[in-house]
Structure 1
Amino acid sequence: MPPTPRSDLRIVIVEDHVLFAESLELALFVEGYDVRRIPVPDSPGSPGALLASIVRVRPRVVLLDLDLGGFGDGVRLIRAIAESGANVVVVTGDPDRARWGEAVRAGARKVLSKSRPLTDIMATVRRINQGLPVMDTAEREELLREWHTTRSAQQALRERLALLTVRESEVLGHLMKGRAVRDIAGIGVVSEATVRTQVKSILAKLEVSSQLAAVGMANEIGWRAPTPS
Structure 2
Amino acid sequence: MPTAASSPVDVLIADDDPLVRAGLAVMLGGAPDLRVVAEAGDGAEAVRLARQHRPDVVLMDIRMPVMDGLAATEELRAMSDAPEVLVLTTFDADAYVLRALRAGAAGFALKDTPPPEIVSAIRRVAEGQPVLSPAVTQRLIDRVVSAQDHTGRRRAAEERLAVLSDRERAVALGIGQGKSNAEISGTLFLGVSTVKTYVSSILTKLGLNNRVQIALLVHDSGEVENHG
How far has the Cα of 1:78 moved from its partner? 0.7
Contact 1:79 1:107 in 2 (8 A): yes
SS in 2 for 1:115: coil
Contact 1:105 1:144 in 2 (8 A): no
Equivalences for residues 73-88 of structure 1 within 5 A: 73-84=68-79, 85-88=82-85
1:135 aligns with 2:132: yes
SS in 1 for 2:105: coil
- In 2: Cα distance, 1:34 partner to 1:74 partner: 21
How far has the Cα of 1:64 moved from its partner? 0.5
Residue identity opposite 2:35 in structure 1: D
Q: Which moved more, 1:55-64 or 1:96-105?
A: 96-105
- In 1: Cα distance, 2:147 partner to 2:58 partner: 27
Please give the TM-score of this superposition, normalised by the length of structure 1.
0.54
Residue identity opposite 2:134 in structure 1: T
Match 2:60 to one of 57, 60, 64: 64
SS in 1 for 2:72: helix
Equivalences for residues 110-149 of structure 1 within 5 A: 110-149=107-146
Q: Match for residue 171 of structure 1?
A: none
Q: Match for residue 103 of structure 1?
A: 100
Percent sequence identity is: 25
- In 1: Cα distance, 2:45 partner to 2:19 partner: 24
- In 2: Cα distance, 1:77 partner to 1:67 partner: 11
SS in 1 for 2:96: helix
Listed one character per residue, the Cα deviations across residues 180-219 of structure 1 (whole Å, up to 9, x for unaligned) are: xxxxxxxxxxxxxxxxxxxxxxxxxxxxxxxxxxxxxxxx
How far has the Cα of 1:17 moved from its partner? 0.8
How far has the Cα of 1:57 moved from its partner? 0.8
Listed one character per residue, the Cα deviations across residues 127-173 of structure 1 (whole Å, up to 9, x for unaligned) are: 234444422334334324434228849xxxxxxxxxxxxxxxxxxxx
- In 1: Cα distance, 2:148 partner to 2:91 partner: 17
Listed one character per residue, the Cα deviations across residues 51-80 of structure 1 (whole Å, up to 9, x for unaligned) are: 122222111100010111x32521111122
Larger of the two Rg values belongs to structure: 1
Contact 1:90 1:112 in 2 (8 A): yes
Q: How many residues align?
A: 147
1:40 aligns with 2:41: yes
Q: Match for residue 162 of structure 2?
A: none
Residue identity opposite 1:67 in structure 2: R
Contact 2:9 2:123 in 1 (8 A): no
Residue identity opposite 1:55 in structure 2: R
Contact 2:57 2:86 in 1 (8 A): yes
Please give the TM-score of this superposition, normalised by the length of structure 2.
0.55
Residue identity opposite 1:39 in structure 2: A
